Amino acid sequence: MDADPNSEEAVEVLQQLGLKEYEAKCFVGLTRLNMSTAKKLSSLTDVPRTRIYDAIRILEAQGLVEIQHTSPQRFRAVSLEEATATLRDQYEGRVDRLHNALNTVETVEDDDSSSVQEVWTMRGRDPIENRTEQLINTATEEIVLVIGDETLLTADLVETLTGVEDDIELTVGALTPSLQAEIQTAVPAATTFVSELGWLHGEHATADDTAIGRLLMVDRTSILVSSIIPDSKAEQAVFGEGFGNGLVVVARRLMSQGLVTENTSET
């Protein structure tokens, strides 16, 4: 396939979605042509002509390609909208199958009992956001969240926060007044405040220092703290649960710094 970065990226993504290399190359090649023969498609994609037909048959079976049985045969890709819908259905179906399979696997009990207080590490923005939303959804009494990076206020997080039950105390701190205003508009039921923690604001930090991403405490038993790596902007986190009251009290007071000052100044 000729050197086209977008085409190469599309081939890579299609392989991640389950297509083999030749199948992915043929499909991407066909999206660049209104219609094609095996000879022309082979020339464009560098897929051996003898392998074109096998790849096309598989793509047809998956609903991604149509075949005109002329001599020679002609092929074309389905519309982009139809193809993405088909791939999405296939991917979601596989995820559902995986969930069902893992949900029913036999559990092997470990003789070693786990400690009541557990601390685990996580990496990656998507997994950390998923864990954040999962923890919020398990809350029954109180949620305290401090957002240290505006990019972490995603649409999914807003949807999760707005779905919190009315009888659960929801407090959200922000890095700046502008972010606080954005949170208050997006999640009107939340009590919001501007954090006064110097290390969270980065007042004395350099460009190379790791920045705090998010701090979350749920029902005073589960804590998640994440940081943003300066160079890569990757997020990593520490998650713990089952903590004793002493640590929870200190953590909550630190996370609520600014809210406490604001409430005191009003009295």
Summarised one tens digit per residue, pLDDT across range 89-117 is 988 988 888 888 888 887 776 555 555 56
At 13, the pLDDT band (50, 70, 90 cuts) reads very high
Residue 36 DSSP label: B
For residues 173 and 192, is the Cβ–Cβ distance under 8 A?
yes
Helix (H) or strand (E) holding 228: strand 222-228
Beta-carbon contacts of residue 179 (< 8 Å; ≥ 6 apart): 147, 150, 153
Q: How far apart are the C-alpha atoms of 243 and 254, rounded to whole Å?
A: 16
Task: Give me the pLDDT at residue 176, please.
Answer: 83
pLDDT tens, 132-157? 999 999 999 999 999 988 889 999 99
Query: If you average pLDDT over residues 8-34, what whole number do you get?
Result: 93
At 267, the pLDDT band (50, 70, 90 cuts) reads very low
Query: If you average pLDDT over residues 226-252, what whole number do you get?
Result: 75
pLDDT: which is higher, 143 or 246? 143
In whole numbers, what is the pLDDT of the chain averaged over residues? 84
Given a cut of 90, whether residue 31 has pLDDT beyond it is yes
For residues 144 and 171, is the Cβ–Cβ distance under 8 A?
yes
pLDDT tens, 46-57? 999 999 999 999
Q: How far apart are the C-alpha atoms of 103 and 96, rounded to whole Å?
A: 10
Q: Choose among 82, 19, 89: nearest CA to 54.
A: 19
Beta-carbon contacts of residue 148 (< 8 Å; ≥ 6 apart): 175, 195, 200, 211, 212, 213, 214, 215, 228
Task: Give me the pLDDT at residue 67, please.
Answer: 94
Given a cut of 90, whether residue 6 has pLDDT beyond it is no
